[in-house]
Structure 1
Amino acid sequence: MLSSKRMLIIALFIQGVLLTAPANALSDMQDTPITFDNLVGKGKWTVMEVWASDCRMCRASIHHTVDFEMSNPDVDVIGISLDGKEGKANAKKFIDEQGLTFNNLISDPSEIDKYLYSTAKESFIGTPTFMVYNPEGKLLAVQPGAITAEELSDFIKKQDTQNKPAS
């Protein structure tokens, strides 16, 4: 029979492994690991666009995200490239070609799929995919496919209106 101290250590280890599993899902362009939790819940809305440099729809529609960022400076906009570490040069080229000024990270489809399933019980469908988090860091929407700057703005305004306390 295991001692209670040993059982506690094992339980804490298992809990730590389970809670930190998504931590390696993202890294910045310098290969520094980043967690989703470090990106959201800072008192601001956060919009993430998952994209890939070889995605034709991403190339055709990412200007909407650029427009959204420019017209909504109070919202954190983050791009997540699915080119993986081996495709970082392609991701950087895409960022430069598209004139992306918002922060962009690197991941891969399997990591994004794990994250979406663990947080939203949804499977990753493809790029582009948008994730919208409220200022408290709660994932409110996962939207596969291209969306416009106006659609993003309208969604956030609607959420703000619905969640305002009555005067």
Structure 2
Amino acid sequence: MFRPLLAALLCACALQVQAAPFTLTDTAGATHALADYRGKWVVVNVWASWCAPCLAEMPELEALSRGHADLVVLGLAADGLDARRVDQFAQRLGVSYPVIAGDDQALRQFRLRAFPTTVVYNPQGEQALVKEGRVTRAEIEGLIAAAQAARPGLALNAH
């Protein structure tokens, strides 16, 4: 009785959502478009300087960014700071991945409801996860491992 329901639930959970394309410009002036990262996992973390859980997860995201050759982390600041202040703030926290001073247009692309919010895209550009609240490196690596088990070819390679 429950097997068909469980099977349907598991299939629904395994479905990926084709993501709307995004283009963001970081504090150094470089442009980052989802299409540019085809073949890589992309993690977009939306944060604010006043958000304690946001700041607490940044070391995890930094370690994730440094630990995998086929993964890109992008930080999107959502508290209205200008690019110079966002860059200085990120540097003080030891963040080396690209950070973006989010304007209204950039933030609308992610339909935020909470801080922090992390959106993970698989190498095909499909949205694999939207997580509201603090995320850990282990959670993201676990998601990728589960996706790889379900769909071979979505591997995550270490540096």
TM-score, with structure 1 as normaliser: 0.68
Distance 2:58 2:71 in 1: 16
Aligned to 1:95: 90
Residue 38 of structure 1 and its aligned partner are, at CA, apart by 4.1
The gaps in structure 2 that reach 5 residues or longer are: 1-19, 154-159
Distance 1:69 1:30 in 2: 18
Distance 1:45 1:31 in 2: 22
Q: Is the 8 A contact 1:83 1:91 kept in 2?
A: no
Question: Which of 1 and 2 has greater Rg?
Answer: 1
Matched, 1:69 2:57: no
RMSD between aligned alpha carbons? 2.5
Distance 1:115 1:126 in 2: 14
Matched, 1:155 2:137: no
Higher fraction of helix: 1
Aligned to 1:115: 109
Residue 158 of structure 1 and its aligned partner are, at CA, apart by 0.6
Residue 70 of structure 1 and its aligned partner are, at CA, apart by 2.3
Aligned length: 134
| SS of structure 2 residue aligned to 1:59 | helix
Residues 83-114 of structure 1, C-alpha deviations (whole Å, 9 max, x = no match): 44x532331122111111111122136642x3
Higher fraction of strand: 2
Q: Is the 8 A contact 1:52 1:81 kept in 2?
A: yes
Alignment-mate amino acid for residue 98 of structure 2: N
Distance 1:144 1:62 in 2: 15
Distance 1:35 1:64 in 2: 21
Task: Name the CA shift for 1:35/1:102 in 2 (closer, same or farther; >3 Å).
Answer: closer
Q: 1:27 aligns with which of 25, 28, 35?
A: 25
Q: 2:55 aligns with which of 53, 59, 77?
A: 59
Distance 1:70 1:29 in 2: 19
Aligned to 1:10: none
The gaps in structure 1 that reach 5 residues or longer are: 1-18, 117-122
Q: Is the 8 A contact 1:83 1:90 kept in 2?
A: no
Distance 1:63 1:102 in 2: 11
Distance 2:58 2:36 in 1: 20
| SS of structure 2 residue aligned to 1:76 | strand
